[in-house]
Amino acid sequence: MSASAPTSNDIAHQALDTLRTALPPQRPLGLHEPEFGERERALVLDCLDSGWVSSAGPQVERFEHLLCEHTGMAHAVAVVNGTAALHLGLQLAGVRPGDEVLLPALTFVGTANPVVHCGAVPHFVDCEADSLGVDPAALERHLDAIVEWRGDTCHNRHSGRPLRALLVVHVLGHVADMDALAAIAERYRLALIEDAAEALGSRRDGRHAGSWGQLAALSFNGNKILTTGGGGALLTDDAELAARARHLSTTAKQPHPWAFEHDAVAFNYRLPNLNAALGCAQLEQLQQRLTAKRRLYERYARAFADLAGAQLHPEPPGCHSNHWLPLLLLPNREARDALLEAASAEGIGLRPFWTPLHRLPMFTDCPHAPLPVTEDLFARGVCLPGSARLGAA
């Protein structure tokens, strides 16, 4: 008599047993925890002692310079968070009320909210299974089916709205197929913007995430590979766009020793010096953290190599990922939920993918392409603890 196939609950508990072998014993264990040391304390205390604590100060410029060094980009503009960076980037790229912006349904809500802040409409597209980013082939099929040209601008023939931009997300630190996506953006005359919030230190074919689009956003939230507490940055190789970003992110104030003259409706988005000081200290440790997170990913890969029914998502071809959050794929939603429940009861911080954006109540009426891969990944994916310290030993 043959043995019965393992149930979803069996697979979940086997996955939890395997996870225990790859993780230290202390509980609770967070999903991604910030780390601070003496260097962070020293630079923050220097801000306090000097009085440079707000959005002017030497650490802001130094932080921007270090970001350019690490990413290879010509300009970095430090702002208060990744959402602000995207909002600013969309405005600079020409997104206006009544436009549609193409973006993946499988991403954090902070990718879509700035589109709406611009008065535009999110238009959700599917992702590919290997990179987790926008699927170029599926995107092109969708555009071929819906695009109507009016002069030199493509419109959604169903809504009548112009398609203004393609906003690509580098999900969990994996870089999307940007060469193919850049070609599509050019063909359809779409502004290309990259949400690289999770991808500092990630590369594809030797190029850093964020280096294909006109503009790219980074995030330094407390759960990212390095943190400024709250913070983000806008990256670009365009000097004019960088200058405009700095101007608009500082209330469009005209330079003057004392007068307050402003020439545009703008934003108070600049990163404070205190936060930038944290970022400078953390950037000094970026390479060590990348090495530690790769070591952790490889430990997970060895642990899960022989577990039937669960697969660690592999690094995409051509990518050198920062492995922000390793992804485990279960056979179905039942196994996913059983693992999440069992790990939570033990104090191990796991999480599913974000609820696909087209399912959220404020976005249910937005246009979207067929989303089979998005739905499949959401049903089966579990993000594993990814703190760099877990791979340091």
The tens digit of pLDDT for each residue in 326-349 reads 999 999 999 999 999 999 999 999
- Output the pTM of the full model: 0.97
286-289: Cβ within 8 A, 24+ apart: 286/70, 286/200, 286/201, 286/225, 286/226, 288/388, 288/392, 289/201, 289/225, 289/226, 289/388
| Three-state DSSP class for residue 211 | coil
Question: What is d(CA 307, CA 60) in angstroms, rounded to the nearest whole number?
Answer: 47
Task: Identify whether 352 is preceded by a cis peptide bond (ω within 30 of 0).
Answer: no
Residue in 193, 189, 203 with CA at minimum distance from that of residue 85: 193
C-alpha distances (whole Å) from 41 to each of 186, 211, 279, 382 are 46, 32, 12, 34
Angle (CA) 112-113-116 rounded to 5° is 95
**Amino acid 1: pLDDT:** 38
Task: Name the token pair of 284.
Answer: 């000094």
**Amino acid 5: pLDDT:** 83
Question: What is d(CA 138, CA 136) in angstroms, rounded to the nearest whole number?
Answer: 6
Question: What is d(CA 267, CA 265) in angstroms, rounded to the nearest whole number?
Answer: 7
Question: Which residues lie across from 270 on neighbouring strands?
Answer: 79
Q: Mean pLDDT for each 10-residue chunk of the chain (393 residues)?
A: 78 97 96 96 96 93 98 98 98 98 98 98 98 98 98 98 98 98 98 98 98 98 96 98 98 95 97 98 97 98 95 96 98 98 97 98 98 98 97 80
Angle (CA) 201-206-207 rounded to 5° is 65
Domains of the chain: 8-34+286-391 (3.90.1150.10), 38-283 (3.40.640.10)
In sequence order, what are the residues at sequence separation of 6 or more whose Cβ sits closer than 8 angstroms to the Cβ of residue 12? Answer: 330, 335, 336, 338, 339, 342
